[in-house]
Every structure is written in structure tokens, then in C-alpha cells.
Chains A and B, each alone.
Chain A
Amino acid sequence: MPDTVSVTINGVTSHVDRGTTVAAAMLLAGQPTRISVNGAQRTALCGMGVCFECRAVVNGIAHRRTCQLLCEPGMTLETNR
């Protein structure tokens, strides 16, 4: 069993260690999880599902809290705009 998984982040393939949260994968790739209403780039802040800063589009579904999700093979991740 490979100890990495590959996911697509804003169209680019990334390989991350198994057990990596989606929030961490997006941070490692240098991609914001979301763009605020005023245009600011955001990423995970609390890391425990409370602050909602880490919301991103996961497999086409917007506003998923990525600090609460582990990367799975083939996941499509996008910055929530």
C-alpha cells in the first residue's frame, strides 16, 4: 500500500502523505482554501473545525471544512471563491 495519496489542487496534481488533512495539503501546495468576500486569501486558522476559514470546494461541493477531512486518492480540491 503506497504511503502517499495524490489529489488535484486547483488543477495541479499533488502527492501528500497518507493521513494529511485537506487543509494541510492545500497549504503545502501554497493554495488558499478560500477567497473572502473582500478578496483576501484565507487558509486554516483554528484547525479544529470551529473558525470556518478553511472552507474549500471538495469534489465539487463548496464550503467543506478541510481541516476536518483527510486526503483521499483522486480528490479534487479547489479554492472556494
Chain B
Amino acid sequence: MKPFDVLIIGAGIVGSAVARECALLGWRVGVIEGGTLAGGATAAGMGHVVVMDDSPAQLALTAYSRSLWLQEAVTLPKSVEYESRGTIWVAADDEEMSEVHSRHKLYGSAGIATEVLTPEQLAVEEPNLRRGLAGGLLVPEDGVVYPPAAANFYLSEARRLGAEVFMGRAVSASQGRVNLADGTTLIAARIVLAVGTDCDLLPTLPIQKRKGHLVITDRYPGFLHHQLVELGYLKSAHQVTEDSVAFNIQPRQTGQLLLGSSRQYGNEEPTAEADVLRDMIERAKEYMPGLKDLSVLRAWTGFRAATVDKLPLIGPALGLSDDSSLWLAIGFEGLGITNAPAAARLLVDNMLGRESAIDSAPYLPARVMEPARLVHA
């Protein structure tokens, strides 16, 4: 069999975006999926396209990737359900309101449009929020997508450009050879691991599973207009050891409400847990008391692929492996949907030795081999 220019293992949103980017180069592309297409974290997540600012590198990546979503928004198929809903970061008290002002400034200096909302303006934007909140920060260009449909769109574009998809589990991947469970061997100049939390192929990958719960309601059109996230989310999302819940709610095109969120380390059981769901829903009701009358249709869990410095691994695997054919696009934690388009660009730029639109150094996998840098990350 003629060798591939690139074999991508994992057909989630990141692997599918990489496949399309490589196919656009005219490369011979193969995609390998051992489970369901877009069936891992891509299917479990919310699909919030959001600018985040944990670190300057995270701000640069999410802002760049969101700009790629925006560029493509009008040509995405309807099934992707892209909507520019905007995010409102909700401030409960004066301390969180001072955070609103500092982020407004920070985002402004990064060229990201935001608006500070007074309590009255917040009540107009979202009448179902309780009164007595301190205000909020509206980020109007943040969006919402339906992630599995977005991943399938990327993959169908790659296929249209000639990519081949192999449904089978990869049991080994090294030195340009991928062996599938059915005995097939595929040869490629480059192998990309876009495997989320499924790290059997390269056990040295420094990925931790971070469990999350989500809930979806019946249809209540008009109940909610923006994605709302409590500013306390930052406090909870920053914690790397303790379990936490935070108010995070998203309006879907159907009128359904997608409600999160929880973060747990060290729990690899996919079972939805009643006590976590209860904490999550109670937290949400503190912000939107009217939620108590709404019906939940379904609850589920998923696993974020977390790295120690909360940035993804995008680039050659060198440092984690001495195999120069291996490339990585993993470790996106809760931002895989947002960051997939940028990750695909950065990875391909790196393969071609081409300059990227943003500095790609902070995402290079080799950094996690340098403990001294992590302390300051």
C-alpha cells in the first residue's frame, strides 16, 4: 500500500480538523478511529466557543481559534448549529465585579470586544437571573456549536479532498507504522495522536482525566439568550486537585438548556453521580431560581484530557518520545471545541516549518519535559 503523508489517530473534533487541514495541502491523509466518530469528549462537551484567559498563551490560542470559527461561520452547514450567542460572565459580588473590569481591560488590549453590564443591564439581557447580582461581562462574539456535527463536517471535508477513514483500533503507532487490531498495517511519513484521554499508544503522555457532568432540559425557548458562566468558574476551574461545580448554562437552537458544570480528578468511572448532579443543579438554581420548574431530559458524563499547565500539546512528540514520526494534538481539557481549528493550523504550520499566526512555542509538547518551566507556567 502506498504510504500516507499523514495518519491521524482519533476522529474527534481535533483529529478531524487536523485531517481537513492536511487534506487541504493535497496530502494523502488517513484517519483511524477505534470507537465512534466524534464519540469521545467531542460528543460529551458543551460546544462553547469561548475566549479564556487562564494564561497569556491560553488567551492567544482561544482568541486565534475563535477568529477562525468566526471566519468560517457563514459557510458552516446548518447541522453544525453555529450561533454567535455571546457569553456573559456573571459577577455575584463586588470582588467578582472588579474581576469583570480587569478582564474588560485585558480583553480590550487583546482586541477582544467586551461590554461591562450593570445589574440593571444584566437583568434586561437575562430576566431569569435572580436579582441582586453585581453585574457581568458580555463577550458578544463567543459562540455555540454542536460539536459532533462540527467534527463530522471537518471529516467529510477531508474525505471530499481524498482522505481515507479506517474504523478500527490502532494497537501500535511508531516509526511511521500503525498496526490496527484487525492486522492491517498502515505506513506514513507522520503519525498524529489526537486521542483525547485514550493514551495507550504512548503511555508517557502526561494526560489526566478530568470528569465532567452535563444535563440537558426539555425545550424552553426564550428562557435564556446567552451562555452564562459564573465568574466563580475561574476559581473552580483553576483548582487542579479538588472537585468542584460551577454555574454554566447554554441555550441550544431547539430551546433546550445545556447545564453544567463539574470538575473531578481521580474518578475514572463514567457513571453519572447523583450527588454531583444535585450540587450542580443547586448551584445553578442559586443564579436562576426559575430552573426549579424545568424538566431535565438526560444527564451524562465525559472526560476532559487535562495537562499539568492547562495548555494543549500541539507539535512533535520529541521530548516525550524519541520517535520523530510522532506528532501530538491532545490535552485540550475543556477547550477542545474552541481550539480545534487553531490546533490544526499550528500543527500543520509546524510540520511544514511555516510561521504561524501566533507564537506556537507555548504549546510544544517538549515543554512538559522541563519541570523548571512548569513552576512558572
Query: Which residues of chain B (71-129) have a CB below 8 Å from chain A?
Result: none
Interface string of A50-81 (1 = CB under 8 A from B): 00000100000111000000000000000000
Interface centre among A37, A55, A61 (most CB of B within 10 A): A61
How many residues of chain A are within 8 Å of chain B by beta carbon? 5
B293 at the interface (CB under 8 A from A): yes
Instruction: Determine the chain B residues whose CB is within 8 A of the CB of A61 once the complex forms.
Output: 293
B166 at the interface (CB under 8 A from A): no
Interface string of B279-316 (1 = CB under 8 A from A): 00000000000000111000000000000000000000
B323 at the interface (CB under 8 A from A): no
Instruction: Determine the chain A residues whose CB is within 8 A of the CB of B254 once the complex forms.
Output: 37
B200 at the interface (CB under 8 A from A): no
Instruction: Determine the chain A residues whose CB is within 8 A of the CB of B219 once the complex forms.
Output: 62-63
Interface centre among A55, A61, A62 (most CB of B within 10 A): A62
Q: How far is the CA of A69 from the CA of B74 in the complex (A)?
A: 46
Instruction: Determine the chain B residues whose CB is within 8 A of the CB of A55 once the complex forms.
Output: 218
Instruction: Give A residues with C-beta under 8 Å from B.
Output: 37, 55, 61-63
Instruction: Give B residues with C-beta under 8 Å from A.
Output: 218-220, 254, 293-295
Ranked nearest first, the 4 interchain pairs of A and B with the lowest CB-CB distance are A63-B218, A61-B293, A63-B295, A62-B220
A-B contact pairs, 12 of them (CB 8 A): A37-B254, A55-B218, A61-B293, A62-B218, A62-B219, A62-B220, A62-B294, A63-B218, A63-B219, A63-B220, A63-B294, A63-B295
